[in-house]
């Protein structure tokens, strides 16, 4: 029978091998090994090139045929639920198709802005929120002049803290869990040219979202500097586009388990839980009166509160 691995049974010839000095050295090696393994576990993910092929295209006269209009009560406590006489309703459309991964190219000509507005372009599974996650690609409120905010909202166990991130935007909160920081999510902000007047003035541009197991990345390209492989639509390669505006790596978040069955959503809420608060409506943007009164009585003030898309294309790994 094989003898147990015990120094007590070793001969005197073998015992010097287990001297105190060697045992200390072995302990140091074990610590170093654990540190190396820990570093590997925290390593930046592999964003190597993936070959993408076109899956879905949204555009032209059939654009809205591929979306459903959301007709339920607004889940963000919108000012127009119920709708004030003479005022405006919020609007929200959701793609009929759902996605677990892919490369999403949004050609955007105009982003909405104006007092009382809270627009967003995002991916989520509404009936199963937050279990299947939320990816906010563009989000702003009121005049929208503070730049775009991109964020993730998840159940517990997804964080952007403690790992390397390669992005040009500015990181905000690190915990993506909706139960943390009042559901602030883990966000990244862009400069003033990434939304609103600054973005629209140059003819808009392209936002690109890559959703894959390695992580989630978002790029913004002004109209004059859209990569050629996006313009020709053949097989865009994010690995050639340089540093993204926002980077949400999988270092401390299992992307595949937190984001799945996602619809493309474009909406413009009015007031709601964000745009209508005194902090944002009055203090940040000095909008007049109360948000609900403004929405109810000034329908002509919303001429810039619209999305205009040149098209949306969705690619999947081939």
Residue whose token pair is 């339920």: 72
* Average pLDDT along the chain: 87
Bigger pLDDT: 7 vs 254: 254
Q: Which of 256, 208, 214, 255 is nearest to 236 (CA)?
A: 208
Write down the pLDDT at residue 82. 45
Does the annotation count 164 as an active-site position? no
Catalytically annotated residue among 134, 164, 210, 273: 134
Grade residue 280 by pLDDT with cuts at 50, 70 and 90.
very high
How many other C-beta atoms can be found within 10 angstroms of the C-beta atom of residue 129? 14
> Could you confirm whether 173 is annotated as catalytic?
no
Which residues is 266 bridged to in the sheet? Answer: 93, 121
**In percent, how much of the chain has pLDDT > 70?**
83
pLDDT of 9 over the 50 cut: no
Q: What is the pLDDT of residues 163-194, one digit of tens each?
A: 999 999 999 999 999 999 999 999 999 999 99
3 has pLDDT over 80: no
Least confident piece of the model among 35-44, 148-157, 200-209: 35-44
**141: closest CA among 285, 256, 26, 38?**
285
CATH, range 52-317: 2.60.120.200
234 pLDDT band, cuts 50/70/90, is: confident
Catalytic residue among 21, 94, 139, 149: 139
pLDDT band at 273 (very low <50, low <70, confident <90, very high): confident
Confidence band of 21 (pLDDT split at 50, 70, 90): low
Burial of 97 per CB tally in 10 Å (0-12, 13-18, 19+): middle
Bridge partners of 21? Answer: none
Choice between 141 and 19, residue whose per-residue pLDDT is larger: 141
Per-residue pLDDT at 71: 81
**Cβ neighbours for 317, distance < 8 A, ≥ 6 positions apart:** 50, 51, 52, 53, 101, 102, 212
For residue 74, what pLDDT is reported?
66
* pLDDT class of 272 with cuts at 50, 70, 90: confident
* Structure-block tokens of residue 12: 């005197």
Sequence-ordered list of residues with C-beta below 8 angstroms from that of 295, at least 6 positions apart, any chain: 79, 80, 84, 87, 88, 116, 270, 271
What's the pLDDT at 124?
A: 98
Q: Where are the domains of the chain?
A: 52-317
Predicted pLDDT at 149: 98
pLDDT at 56 over 50: yes
Angle 41-46-52 (CA atoms, 0-180°, nearest 5)?
Answer: 145
Split at pLDDT 50, 70, 90, the class of 27 is very low
Mean pLDDT, residues 269-285 taken together: 92
Distances (CA, A) of 230 to 107, 114, 137, 210: 10, 30, 18, 13
**Rounded-to-integer distance, Cα 269 and Cα 56, Å:** 27
pLDDT exceeds 80 at position 239 = yes
pLDDT of 31 > 60? The answer is no
Place 77 in a pLDDT band, splitting at 50, 70 and 90: low
- How many Å apart are CA 275 and CA 273, to the nearest integer? 6
**80-113: per-residue pLDDT in tens?**
444 445 567 889 999 999 999 999 999 999 999 9
């Amino acid at each position: 029978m094989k003898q147990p691995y015990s120094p007590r049974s070793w001969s005197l010839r073998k015992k010097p091998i287990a001297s105190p000095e060697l045992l200390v050295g072995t302990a140091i090696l074990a610590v170093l090994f654990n540190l190396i393994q820990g570093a590997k576990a925290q390593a930046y993910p592999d964003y190597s090139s993936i070959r993408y092929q076109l899956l879905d295209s949204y555009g032209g006269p059939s654009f809205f045929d591929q979306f459903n209009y959301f007709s339920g009560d607004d889940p963000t406590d919108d000012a127009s639920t119920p709708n004030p006489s003479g005022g405006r309703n919020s609007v929200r459309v959701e793609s009929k198709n759902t996605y677990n991964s892919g490369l999403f190219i949004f050609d955007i000509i105009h982003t909405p802005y104006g007092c009382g507005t809270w627009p967003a372009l995002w991916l989520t599974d509404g009936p199963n929120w937050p279990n299947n996650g939320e990816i906010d690609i563009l989000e702003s409120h009121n005049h929208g002049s503070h730049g775009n905010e991109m964020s993730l909202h998840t159940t517990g166990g997804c964080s952007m803290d403690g790992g390397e991130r390669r992005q040009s935007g500015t990181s905000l909160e690190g915990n993506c869990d909706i139960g943390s920081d009042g559901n602030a999510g883990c966000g990244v902000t862009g400069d003033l040219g990434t939304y609103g007047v600054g973005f629209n003035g140059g003819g808009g541009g392209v936002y690109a979202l890559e959703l894959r197991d390695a992580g989630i990345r978002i790029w913004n390209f002004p109209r004059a500097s859209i990569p050629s492989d996006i313009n020709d639509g053949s097989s865009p390669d994010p690995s050639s586009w340089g540093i993204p505006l926002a980077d949400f790596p999988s270092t401390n978040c299992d992307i595949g388990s937190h984001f799945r069955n996602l619809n493309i959503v474009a909406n413009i809420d009015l007031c709601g839980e964000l745009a209508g608060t005194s902090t944002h409506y009055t203090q940040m943007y000095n909008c007049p009166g109360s948000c609900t009164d403004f929405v109810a009585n000034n329908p002509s003030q919303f001429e810039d509160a619209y999305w205009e898309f040149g098209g949306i294309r969705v690619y999947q790994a081939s």
